[in-house]
Structure 1
């Protein structure tokens, strides 16, 4: 069965071979800024003339920041030209949850890949503990590394 997320993940790994979150963002020529966002917003991406700027809430814990950075990066790679306000303007809210789930899955795959040496032999819950993420993220652990 065709798996778009896995295909895009493999392209990212082949193209960038990421060893940490910051190097992936730098190598992909995305800009990264930290800002004082409201407590509900982890981050967002602004795209202008094919230049992607990821904005992260500097009040959130570092573990969540890394996940949000990769979540936003995943939107850039998976959902070119598509964003939540676009879907809302068309009254297509059902697609928002699909794109968010896809971005979460790819972000977690990237975190697992980047940390694979440290996660070897751990259970899925131990991996989430190591990454500083809540157990509710277990549903996005589609692949074991």
Structure 2
């Protein structure tokens, strides 16, 4: 495992995050147990953010909101055979239409498809504090 600067990733690490890979998001339930779900993630090292679009009523959004305005400690991870990469940080939920639209555009670029319109869509923004991986 190699620790990396989430705001200044090496070219190969960033390239891995730009490839099409499904990821996992790990949040904490109210009892402290981990909640791990498959998600699409976009990585923006310039802003120091990872983004996950979701429905406002999702469990993942509820877990992040429950942590309060300071944010929830979360991790996103992707793996392909022996390559893997994890980003960690403090997550918050934004309903701001411009932020949601930006997250949707980034998702469409990475995953090659634009999600269907959803008036209940929000974005989980993860202010990155750590990056690691073998990629």
TM-score by length of 1: 0.27
User: Which of these two proteins has the greater Rg computed from alpha carbons?
Assistant: 1
TM-score by length of 2: 0.28
Name which structure has the greater RCO, CA cutoff 8 Å, separation 6+: 2
Instruction: Choose between structure 1 and 2: higher helix proportion.
Output: 1
